[in-house]
């Protein structure tokens, strides 16, 4: 299952009061595992940067001036997310800004039906506990030491780890490990013969009982890999 972990940075809290997107990033995951494919752009909001917002993400008006406008990156953004679900922490906030920018550009809004809100997941899993991204990192022992300021790409990468924990990602890792072991067992096993066979230590009755036991395990038994061909 393909999903996109998404995060944004903005000039403020309310797009209806003129606040705009200044950064958007996405991390692709397949079955909760990051693939290495990412999307990341800074956006010129064509307005000033309030001191409160700058204190959060450190993106100045001077730094953003001359960066692409949102309409310039829409096609690349839409191509990256495709029809995949969007995984966002406190999703309502980010989606209001994204859909406001799409509206200003004359595009259709994204449906909330495709959004997975990790804040809601965390509140259901840990009721009454702090569920900010930093709090979840602490709970799941995820290293967020690089998170001195908010940044859309870094926060998306961290959220990908948090999301995997929220949905049982460790079990998913175990499944992948099991598949790797199964693949390793499917390889041809080279059985080396001793130059001089060891003396037989079991009686015929025991050998026959063991053979019947192996037959009952089926053709896929791992023991078959260690039986030398006659």
Rounded to the nearest 10 degrees, how much is the dihedral formed by the CA atoms of 88, 125, 169, 85? -30
Which pLDDT does position 72 carry in this prediction? 97
> Whole-model pTM?
0.73
Which pLDDT does position 200 carry in this prediction? 65
In the DSSP assignment, the letter for residue 199 is P
Nearest to residue 126, comparing CAs of 171, 162, 93, 157? 162
Q: Domains of the chain: which residue ranges?
A: 2-173
Residue 57 falls in the annotated catalytic set = no
Give the Cα-Cα-Cα angle 86, 88, 94 (nearest 5 degrees). Answer: 100
How confident is the model over 71-94, as a mean pLDDT?
98
Q: Tell me which fold the domain 2-173 belongs to.
A: Nucleotidyltransferase; domain 5 (3.30.420)
Q: pLDDT by residue (tens digit) across 103-121?
A: 999 999 999 999 999 999 9
Which pLDDT does position 218 carry in this prediction? 74
CA 35 to CA 28: how far, in whole Å? 6
Q: pLDDT by residue (tens digit) across 33-77?
A: 999 999 999 999 999 999 999 999 999 999 999 999 999 999 999
DSSP 9-78: EESSS-GGGT--EEEEEEEEEETTEEEEEEEEEE---SS---HHHHHHH---HHHHTTSPPHHHHHHHHH
Q: Which of 40, 57, 126, 150 is catalytic?
A: 150
CA 79 to CA 39: how far, in whole Å? 10
CA 75 to CA 7: how far, in whole Å? 18
Residue 90 in this model has a pLDDT that exceeds 70: yes
Q: pLDDT by residue (tens digit) across 195-222?
A: 666 666 677 777 788 778 777 777 766 6
Task: Name the band, by pLDDT with cuts 50, 70 and 90, for residue 229.
Answer: very low
């Amino acid at each position: 299952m393909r999903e996109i972990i998404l995060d944004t940075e903005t000039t403020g809290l309310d797009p209806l009061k003129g606040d705009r997107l200044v950064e958007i990033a996405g991390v692709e995951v397949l079955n909760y595992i990051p693939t290495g494919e990412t999307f990341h752009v800074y956006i010129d909001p064509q307005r000033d940067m309030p001191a409160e917002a700058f204190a959060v993400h450190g993106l100045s008006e001077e730094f953003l001036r001359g960066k692409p406008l949102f309409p310039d990156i829409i096609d690349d953004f839409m191509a990256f997310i495709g029809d995949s679900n969007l995984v966002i922490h406190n999703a309502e906030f980010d989606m209001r800004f994204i859909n406001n920018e799409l509206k200003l550009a004359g595009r259709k809004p994204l449906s909330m039906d495709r959004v997975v809100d990790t804040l809601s997941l965390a509140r259901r899993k840990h009721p009454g506990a702090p569920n900010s991204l930093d709090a979840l990192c602490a709970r799941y022992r995820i290293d967020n030491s690089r998170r001195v300021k908010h940044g859309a790409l870094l926060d998306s990468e961290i959220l990908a780890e948090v999301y995997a924990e929220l949905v049982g990602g460790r079990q998913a890792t175990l499944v992948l490990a099991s598949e790797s072991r199964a693949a390793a067992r499917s390889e041809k096993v080279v059985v080396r013969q001793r130059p001089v066979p060891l003396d037989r230590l079991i009686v015929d009755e025991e050998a026959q009982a063991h053979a019947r036991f192996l037959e009952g395990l089926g053709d896929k038994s791992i023991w078959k890999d260690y039986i030398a061909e006659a």
